[in-house]
C-alpha cells in the first residue's frame, strides 16, 4: 500500500515537473515590434527604422522618378503630369489640398490660412502671374522639397497625391480667373439670378 | 446534557447561509463594476505627456485635419504618430521661442524621438486596423470622442470587448458617410437608422456573422 502511494507521488511529481517546462511566455512575449515601439537593439532606440535615402515605394516609380544626386529635379520643369488627369484625380487633389495646404494657403489658394493668421510667414497667392505661368512640375517639386518658408511635404504626401494636388492647384488658378462664358449654360443662369 | 447552542442561534445559522449568497453576489458585482470602471480601463483619464499638446487647439481652434499628422490612418493598421518634423512645419516660426515647446525643438535638434505616452492602448491579442474602419464609414469621433474638445488627450471609450461588439453587432447605428469620417460633431441629416442601413449596403459592410466571429479581431 505505502509502496503504491510512494510510486504515485513520484509519477505526479514527474508530471508536474514536465508540465512546468511548458510554462513559457513565448506567445505572450513575441519577438516582434509594434509600430514606433522602443527598441534596445538599435542605437537610436527606434524599432521603426528610418528609410534609407532614395527609397522608392513599390509602384511609385512612374509617378516619382528619383532625380540624380545634386542635379536639379527634373520634376521642376515638367509641363505634363506622369499620371492621367481624371475627375477622380482632381477630387483627390482637392481633398489632399484641403488637408495639407489650406492651413497656410487657405481653401482658395490666396495664402491667408489659419497658420498664417497666427503668424507664419505668408506664402504668395497661388494666383499671381509667376505661379500661373509656372510648369505644373513646379508645384510637385515644391511639395517634395519645400521652398522658402514652406517646409517639404515629402513624408506626409506620397508622390501620386502630389500630382493630384498640383492638378488641383491648376484648377484653382483657373477658377479664380474664370469668365462667365466658361460656366456651362444652366449654371450661368443661376449665377446671374444670384446676382 | 445541556445544549451548547441556544435556540436563537438557529436563526443566526440560517441568516448566515442566506447572507453569504448575497455577500458573494455583492462581491461579484463589485468586481464586475471595478473591471468596467475607469480605474481599470483608464477611460477619460488624461495622461502625462512630454509636451502639453492640445487637440482642442489644433483641431478645434485651428481646424487642422486629422490626416495632416496621422498620415497613415487611411491605409494602415496604425494611424501614425507624426514625426517631430511635422510639428516643426509650423513651430519653426510659430511659438518658436516658447519654453513649452522646448522638448519638440530639442527632439528636432538632436534627432531623438519624443516619447509620448500611449493613450488608446488596446488589450493584448486584439488585432485592430484603422484603415478598414475609416474606409467603411466609422468616424474618428465614434471611437475617439470629441477630440476637438480635448485640451489633454484621454481615451474616450472603454476599449473593452463589449464596447467593440456593440458596433460590430449593429454597425448601422454608427456608420456615417465616408466624407464625414474626419468631421467632428457630425449629426446625421436623416434618421441614423435609415442612413446607417443604406451606408451598410453601399459600403459592403460584412454581415453580423463575420463581424462577430472571434477570428475577425483575434487572429
**Average pLDDT of B36-47?**
89
B92 and A CB contact within 8 Å: yes
pLDDT at A76: 66
Share of residues in chain A with pLDDT > 70 (%) = 89
What SS3 class is residue A121? Answer: coil
CA distances in angstroms from B84 to A16, A34, B150, B217, listed in the order given: 53, 19, 21, 32
Cα angle for residues B98, B102, B108 (degrees, 5° grid):
125
Residues of A in contact with B122 (CB under 8 A): none
Q: Which helix (H) or strand (E) holds B161?
A: helix B161-169
Tens digits of residue pLDDT in B77-102? 999 999 999 999 999 999 999 999 99
- CATH of region A74-178, choose from 3.40.309.10, 1.10.760.10, 3.40.50.620, 3.30.70.260: 1.10.760.10
Residue contact A156–B71, C-beta within 8 A: yes
In chain A, where are the structural domains located? Answer: 74-178
The CA distance from B60 to B141, in Å, is 13
Residue contact B62–A118, C-beta within 8 A: yes
Residue B46 lies in a domain: no
Residue B104 lies in a domain: no
Task: Return the higher-pLDDT residue of A25 and B201.
Answer: B201
Q: Which of B60, B61, B63, B89 would best serve as a mutation to test chain A binding (most A beta carbons within 10 A)?
A: B89
Facing B93 at nearest CB: one of A98, A99, A120: A120
Q: What is the ipTM of this complex?
A: 0.86
Tens digits of residue pLDDT in A144-169? 889 999 999 988 998 889 999 999 99
Residue B97 lies in a domain: no
B91 and A CB contact within 8 Å: no
pLDDT at A63 over 70: no
- Phi (first) and psi of residue A150, to 5 degrees: -80, 125
B99 and A CB contact within 8 Å: no
What lies within 8 Å, CB to CB, of B198 at 6+ separation is: none
Residue B3 lies in a domain: no
3-state secondary structure A123-175: CCCCCCHHHHHCCHHHHHHHHHHCECCECCCCCCCCHHHHHHHHHHHHHHHHH
The DSSP line for B4-65 is SS-TTHHHHHHHHHHHHHHHHHHHHHHHHHHHHSHHHH-BTPPPP-SS---HIIIIIIS---
Facing A115 at nearest CB: one of B62, B80, B112: B62
A13-17, A148-152, B23-27, B138-142: segment of lowest average pLDDT: A13-17
Residue contact A151–B88, C-beta within 8 A: yes
Mean pLDDT over the full length of chain B:
93
Tens digits of residue pLDDT in A28-50? 778 888 889 989 999 888 999 88
Residue B170 lies in a domain: yes
Q: What is the DSSP letter of B82?
A: P
B135 and A CB contact within 8 Å: no
**Average pLDDT of B111-117?**
92
B64 and A CB contact within 8 Å: yes
**Average pLDDT of B135-162?**
95
Residue contact B62–A155, C-beta within 8 A: no
pLDDT at A70 over 50: no
Residue B145 lies in a domain: yes
A51-65, B36-50, B72-86: segment of lowest average pLDDT: A51-65
Place of cell 497658420: A115
Between chain A and chain B, how many beta carbons pairs sit less than 8 Å apart?
50
CA-based torsion, A40, A42, A45, A48: positive or negative = negative
**Average pLDDT of A18-24?**
74
pLDDT at B130: 97
- pLDDT confidence tier of residue A2, bands split at 50, 70 and 90: low
Residue contact A155–B85, C-beta within 8 A: yes
- pLDDT confidence tier of residue B53, bands split at 50, 70 and 90: very high
Facing A99 at nearest CB: one of B68, B93, B94: B68
User: HSE of A39 in the Cβ direction (CA atoms, 13 Å)?
Assistant: 15
**Average pLDDT of B193-212?**
94
Q: What is the number of structural domains in chain B? A: 1
Residue contact A118–B71, C-beta within 8 A: no
CA distance to partner chain B, nearest, from residue A76 (Å): 22
Facing B94 at nearest CB: one of A45, A120, A151: A120
Burial of residue B117 (CB within 10 Å: 0-12, 13-18, 19+) is: exposed
Residue contact B88–A121, C-beta within 8 A: no
Contact by Cβ (8 Å): B111, A50: no
Q: C-alpha cell of A14?
A: 514527474
Domain span at B126: 122-217
pLDDT at B108 over 70: yes
pLDDT at A69: 45
Contact by Cβ (8 Å): A103, A113: yes
Residue contact A35–B78, C-beta within 8 A: yes
pLDDT at B150: 95
Residues of B in contact with A120 (CB under 8 A): 90, 93-94
pLDDT at B99: 94
pLDDT at B3: 80
B71 and A CB contact within 8 Å: yes
**Average pLDDT of B1-8?**
80
Residues of B in contact with A30 (CB under 8 A): none
Q: Which helix (H) or strand (E) holds A102?
A: helix A102-105
Residue B135 lies in a domain: yes
Contact by Cβ (8 Å): A100, A156: yes
Residue B181 lies in a domain: yes
Amino acid at each position: 500500500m505505502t509502496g503504491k502511494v510512494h510510486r504515485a507521488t513520484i509519477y505526479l511529481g514527474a508530471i508536474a515537473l514536465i508540465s512546468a517546462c511548458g510554462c513559457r511566455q513565448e506567445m505572450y512575449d513575441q519577438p516582434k515590434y509594434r509600430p514606433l515601439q522602443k527598441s534596445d537593439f538599435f542605437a537610436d532606440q527606434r524599432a521603426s527604422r528610418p528609410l534609407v535615402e532614395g527609397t522608392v515605394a513599390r509602384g511609385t516609380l512612374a509617378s516619382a522618378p528619383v532625380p540624380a544626386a545634386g542635379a536639379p529635379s527634373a520634376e521642376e520643369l515638367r509641363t505634363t503630369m506622369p499620371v492621367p488627369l481624371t475627375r477622380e484625380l482632381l477630387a483627390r487633389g482637392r481633398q489632399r489640398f484641403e488637408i495639407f495646404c489650406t492651413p497656410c494657403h487657405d481653401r482658395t489658394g490666396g495664402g491667408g490660412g489659419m497658420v498664417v493668421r497666427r503668424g507664419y510667414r505668408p506664402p504668395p497667392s497661388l494666383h499671381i502671374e509667376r505661379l500661373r505661368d509656372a510648369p505644373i512640375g513646379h508645384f510637385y517639386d515644391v511639395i517634395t522639397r519645400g521652398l522658402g518658408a514652406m517646409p517639404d511635404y515629402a513624408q506626409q504626401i506620397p508622390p501620386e497625391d502630389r500630382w493630384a494636388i498640383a492638378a488641383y492647384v491648376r484648377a484653382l488658378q483657373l477658377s479664380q480667373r474664370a469668365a462667365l462664358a466658361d460656366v456651362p449654360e444652366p449654371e450661368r443662369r443661376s449665377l446671374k439670378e444670384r446676382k | 446534557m445541556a445544549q451548547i447552542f441556544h435556540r436563537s442561534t438557529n436563526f443566526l445559522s440560517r441568516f448566515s447561509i442566506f447572507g453569504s449568497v448575497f455577500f458573494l453576489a455583492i462581491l461579484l458585482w463589485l468586481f464586475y463594476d471595478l473591471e468596467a470602471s475607469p480605474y481599470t480601463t483608464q477611460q477619460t483619464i488624461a495622461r502625462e505627456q512630454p509636451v502639453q499638446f492640445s487637440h482642442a487647439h489644433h483641431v478645434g481652434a485651428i481646424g487642422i485635419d486629422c490626416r495632416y499628422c496621422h498620415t497613415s490612418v487611411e491605409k494602415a493598421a496604425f494611424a501614425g504618430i507624426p514625426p517631430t518634423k511635422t510639428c516643426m512645419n509650423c513651430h519653426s516660426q510659430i511659438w518658436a521661442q516658447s519654453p513649452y515647446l522646448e522638448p519638440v525643438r530639442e527632439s528636432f535638434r538632436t534627432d531623438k524621438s519624443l516619447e509620448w505616452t500611449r493613450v488608446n492602448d488596446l488589450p493584448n491579442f486584439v488585432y485592430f486596423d484603422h484603415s478598414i474602419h475609416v474606409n467603411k464609414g466609422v468616424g474618428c469621433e465614434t471611437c475617439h470622442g470629441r477630440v476637438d474638445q480635448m485640451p489633454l488627450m484621454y481615451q474616450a471609450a472603454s476599449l473593452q470587448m463589449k464596447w467593440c461588439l456593440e458596433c460590430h453587432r449593429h454597425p448601422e447605428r454608427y456608420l456615417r458617410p465616408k466624407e464625414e469620417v474626419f468631421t467632428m460633431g457630425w449629426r446625421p441629416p436623416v434618421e441614423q437608422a435609415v442612413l446607417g442601413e443604406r451606408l451598410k449596403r453601399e459600403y459592403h459592410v460584412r454581415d453580423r456573422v463575420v463581424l462577430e466571429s472571434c477570428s475577425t479581431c483575434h487572429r
